[in-house]
Chain A
């Protein structure tokens, strides 16, 4: 089973687009199939955002870690925060 990431974004938001780009860049360094990513639009998935207690966008959540998982808030311009998050989920970046 792959490690699950959820990225909450808001439509038409420059910060969300930036987060999306940054996340894609980081994930490009990982083997496909190890990490699954779901991108949720807060306007479409407001009830899920409610469940996940999302306040800020963009918010990246690592699922499967306890109840609420681990969160990174922001446009993910610091790539290391994503690498650290995946490591927390047991996924190491291949050398």
Chain B
């Protein structure tokens, strides 16, 4: 049956999605709410929108005078006075005489109003009408059977005149009937309920399409807010929102991460970066934002943790200045406190940002600040609202989330549903060193490395490497490397230790150092038989180090070298060969592979056929 109803859109943000197209043409719609729930604003907003669509509309003022309605509407920027001047909006005064008594003597009906409406329709060509409100019209309230018959008379008249009618009514306090009059919903084709809920210390507004005859609609309550521009609804329904259709990938701004997720993030995908304080979330968010801005896309960065000047200052300090991008107009940085703003207003803010600035990417750092400022339910509504907003607009987003326990275990189910990708940052202390990890928990629609990678934070960015050694049998004292001296250059402590252990078990004497400067000193002190060198190093890279070795005087300059790295692109291999590496070992490697490659580099027969040297 759905789809058989002719609909007129209201252009009230979000409402036409809830109603799957708008209000039923030529039928009556009841809008129910308590005083202050926004009924009149919604009615006025719809009326002005009808007028903009070229549909002449009558607004029956029973509660407030036409002059007051003009003032209210103009204050909200609806330009009611303009609509009235154009002749397309007719405000009809049906207020009670305030300056004289009104006495009831016997029975009456609504013919007076009906004939007035008929005359107005004739004069203006009106095709829509708003009655504000049924409750005020029947005040003082006649007996129920009279109200029922009068209301029926009115709705019947609207129907006969083929008017799309919006009837506003006061919500009843108790259970039982929907409205104080208790009759309106039976004869209307559609019922919309506005609620005003106090949730914790905060007021929360919701809207529900309670009934829609012959039409499908989104069920349940959805948050809305009244802004300086009127009502704005968040028809958040992630399940019906289309997943990102674009399979194009773009850089996350962090090349190591791009490798882990096989080439980059999908366009319009939502990424959650989770981890404890100090694990590098904000830095990752900054890389993401900068990469977008550097590609010439527009990016909005919402910071909720510190004022704008401090955030920008922090980025500048770590070598990731945002100033140029901000100045070029590619990056907009907005910092606010969610507590002060309220979640509905924040959503409105983000929505207008999306509409006005039209960014390709947005960053929210962090959603935890938002979470802490609201109840669980409103945070959930916020996130779902945000997600559907981003889907609707087809935007990519990155959210950071602070977690205190294990980053992997704490994703609320709805957050996991929202996110197309989830990245977990973490750290633990190992000896005196802080060891950081980055793990891809989820990457919808793409293969990805599920193992945690080592992460290091350095000036200007982040760096990751997979664990150096894969679990596997260690070649024990077979002597294949016995007597060989190996210089191992590896900045990650655990990789250094594991590789040292593996090589020593095979009989090698290992000198292990964390950077190029120390490696150069160790090389000059005593030239080794083989160099095993990581390419990504904190000071200079492995290429530059080996080039210096090759350029140094003496026979040591020809020492065999093995690149031991996570850099596996063809150009990395080419550069490795040019720098003088004979072998290229891509991490993670099995212990046997490491040993055999070092043996072959030293000109010894491998102990056993390497499983896969990837060299």
Contact = CB atoms under 8 A, between A and B. Distances in A.
A58 B107 CA distance: 8
Contacts of A18: 106
Contact of A68 (B99, B110, B116, B119): B99
A42 B101 contact: no
Interface string B112-152: 11011011100000000000000001000000000000000
B104 to A, nearest CB: 5
A13 B106 CA distance: 14
A75 B113 contact: no
B94 interface: yes
A76 B98 CA distance: 21
A55 B104 CA distance: 13
Interface in A1-60: 8, 10, 13, 15-16, 18-19, 22, 42-43, 46-47, 49-50, 53-59
A73 B105 CA distance: 6
A90 interface: no
Interface residues of A, number: 41
B108 interface: yes
Given A47-B119, A75-B105, A10 B100 contact: no
B92 to A, nearest CB: 7
A82 B120 CA distance: 31
B99 A77 contact: no
B100 to A, nearest CB: 4
A45 B116 CA distance: 9
A95 interface: no
Contacts of A16: 111
A72 interface: yes
A85 interface: yes
Nearest to B113: A55
B115 A74 contact: no
A92 interface: no
Interface centre among B95, B100, B112, B116, by most chain A C-beta atoms within 10 angstroms, is B112
A55 B106 contact: no
Given A15-B109, A56-B109, A57-B109, A74 B104 contact: yes
Contacts, number: 118
Contacts of B112: 8, 10, 42, 49, 54-57, 59
B100 A53 contact: no
Interface in B509-523: none
Contact of A77 (B94, B100, B105, B111): B105
Interface centre among A15, A53, A72, by most chain B C-beta atoms within 10 angstroms, is A53
B97 interface: yes
A73 B108 contact: yes
A55 B103 contact: no
A91 interface: no
B94 A55 contact: yes
Contacts of A94: none
Contact of B115 (A46, A65, A72): A46
Given A10-B115, A49-B116, A71-B100, A57 B108 contact: yes
B74 interface: no
A56 B110 contact: yes
Contacts of A55: 62, 94, 110, 112-113, 116, 137
Contacts of B113: 54-56
Nearest to A14: B107
Contact of B105 (A70, A81, A88): A81
Contact of A46 (B99, B109, B118): B118
A57 B106 CA distance: 11
A61 to B, nearest CB: 9
A70 B109 CA distance: 19
Contacts of A66: 99-100
A69 B108 contact: no
A42 B94 contact: no
B161 to A, nearest CB: 13
B392 interface: no
Contact of A58 (B99, B100, B108, B118): B108
A65 B98 CA distance: 12
A84 to B, nearest CB: 7
Given A69-B97, A71-B102, A50 B109 contact: no
A76 B101 CA distance: 15
Given A42-B116, A50-B120, A53-B95, A13 B102 contact: no
B93 interface: yes
A18 B103 CA distance: 17
Contacts of A42: 111-112, 115-116
Contact of B108 (A43, A53, A59, A82): A59
Contact of A78 (B100, B106, B110, B116): B106
B106 A74 contact: yes
Contacts of A50: 92-93, 116, 119-120
B100 A70 contact: yes
B115 A43 contact: yes
Contacts of B103: 70-73, 81, 84-85
B137 to A, nearest CB: 7
A85 B101 CA distance: 9
A70 B112 CA distance: 17
Contacts of A82: 105
A18 B107 CA distance: 10
A73 B99 contact: no
A75 B101 contact: no
Given A42-B112, A74-B107, 5 more contacts: A49-B115, A54-B113, A55-B94, A68-B98, A71-B101
23 contacts: A8-B112, A10-B112, A46-B116, A47-B119, A50-B120, A55-B110, A55-B113, A55-B137, A56-B109, A56-B113, A57-B112, A62-B100, A68-B98, A70-B100, A70-B101, A73-B102, A74-B106, A75-B106, A75-B107, A75-B108, A81-B103, A81-B105, A84-B103
Interface of A: 8, 10, 13, 15-16, 18-19, 22, 42-43, 46-47, 49-50, 53-59, 62, 65-78, 81-82, 84-85, 88
Smallest CB-CB A-B distances: 8 pairs: A46-B119, A10-B111, A68-B97, A75-B106, A77-B106, A74-B106, A81-B105, A70-B100
Interface of B: 62, 92-113, 115-116, 118-120, 137
